[in-house]
Amino acid sequence: MSDINYDQPIGEEASVAHEQDADMDYEFTGFTEPKGSNFDFGIMEKLRTPTGEGSIEDYLDHPLNFAKSRAIAQILRGATGFCGDLKLAIVDVTMGIFNLSKESKGKKGNKWENVGTL
Amino acid sequence: MGKRRHTLKIGITRSGKTYKALHDIKASSVPTLFYNIKHQEVLKGFKDITSSDTLRKLDHALKHYKMVNYLPSDDEEQREIGIKNIVNYLFKSNFKEVDFVLDEAWEVVPQGKAKSPVFTITRRGLEKIRAEFIVQSPADLDKKAVKQCEIIEVFRLNDWDYKYLKGIGLPAEEIQRKLSNAPQYSFVRVAEGAVSEPMKM
């Protein structure tokens, strides 16, 4: 049994997809993203976020790159892509807590000083 | 029974034509859809299907109940769509044979209606669907439909209906003569030019 939508009410206009599709020449335009589904909680969409602008080297002097590390620079570039330029309240709060714990321990001259100042 | 043929039943109100049609359906082993536009009472054993039911339900009913009492919508547009969908479904279904009996068939195929999905059934012959039309007056039904019925069962008619039958080439005088003395609810069968003796349910 083909070309019939068995789930349509008898008194309703037939959905034409099946009958007409058989006669049409389709032009394949590639796969399209599924619409309307939040089943993956938007994870797939998030994973397609472009990375931050600039080269990895541009992030070596980033305020949050406390070790002037190339690896951290790469992480920061990606994080910038997700979150923008990282001038976020949550970043300030997190790094502030980190610095507070350092200050309370009385460590000085540490390379971690002023980490998180944006 | 022999070869399947499209059939026409004609007769005035309460002549017994619909009652006979329902009994014929019950006696037949062929799955049958009875198009009951008047929503009149049918015999036991019929499965009611309406225009808001799905084709899947109709298909199931025909397979398992064999006799379907289809109750068309009151809305004319919905009825037109329903007929189109039913005819399409009947052609594409898996049934080897299926009967489509239309009561008050003139409502579906009135005189002069050039296009009706039902003509697809009568034009293509009896590949798998046998059509049966039930009308009060043969003049109400489109001539094309009448001409494609190889069997005509004539119940009691008005005088001008006999004139119409004569006009379309049927042995009207012989039919009228045979029925004139027959008991109530009698009918004659006209096939291949021959008129049977009166029969009764």
Higher pLDDT, A98 or B75: B75
Looking at residue A22, its pLDDT comes to 35
Residue A117, classified by CB atoms within 10 Å of its CB into exposed (0-12), middle (13-18) or buried (19+), is: exposed
Find the distance separating the first CA and the last CA of chain A, reported in whole Å.
67
Q: To the nearest whole percent, how much of chain A has pLDDT over 70?
A: 56
The overall pTM is greater than 0.80:
no
Q: Please judge whether A10 and B59 are an interchain contact, meaning their C-beta atoms are less than 8 angstroms apart.
A: no
A5 interaction partners in chain B (CB closer than 8 Å): 55
- pLDDT tens for each residue of B96-141: 999 999 999 999 888 877 678 888 888 776 778 999 999 999 999 9
Looking at residue B178, its pLDDT comes to 95
CA atoms within 13 A on the CB side of B92: 16
- pLDDT tens for each residue of B33-71: 999 999 999 999 999 999 999 999 999 999 999 999 999
Q: Please judge whether A7 and B52 are an interchain contact, meaning their C-beta atoms are less than 8 angstroms apart.
A: no
Backbone φ, ψ for residue B165 (5° rounding): -60, -40
B25 neighbors B101 (Cβ within 8 angstroms):
yes
A66 neighbors A39 (Cβ within 8 angstroms):
no
Interval B131-155 mean pLDDT: 92
SS3 at position B183: coil
B33 interaction partners in chain A (CB closer than 8 Å): none
Interval B9-29 mean pLDDT: 94
B93 neighbors B59 (Cβ within 8 angstroms):
yes
Of the given ranges (A8-12, B5-9, B50-54, B106-110), which has the lowest mean pLDDT? B106-110
Residue B157: pLDDT band with limits 50, 70, 90: very high
- Which residue of B lies nearest to A13 if distances are taken between CA atoms? B81
Interval A32-57 mean pLDDT: 64
Smallest CA–CA separation between A11 and chain B, in Å? 4
Q: Is B83 left (phi over 0), alpha (psi -120 to 50) or beta?
A: alpha
Looking at residue A32, its pLDDT comes to 40
Q: Please judge whether A7 and B55 are an interchain contact, meaning their C-beta atoms are less than 8 angstroms apart.
A: yes
DSSP string of A46-114, one letter each residue = HHTPPPPSS-GGGGTT-TT-TT--HHHHHHHHHHHHHHSSS--HHHHHHHHHHHHHHHHHT--S-TTTT
Which residue shows structure tokens 């309240």?
A89
Residue A77: pLDDT band with limits 50, 70, 90: confident
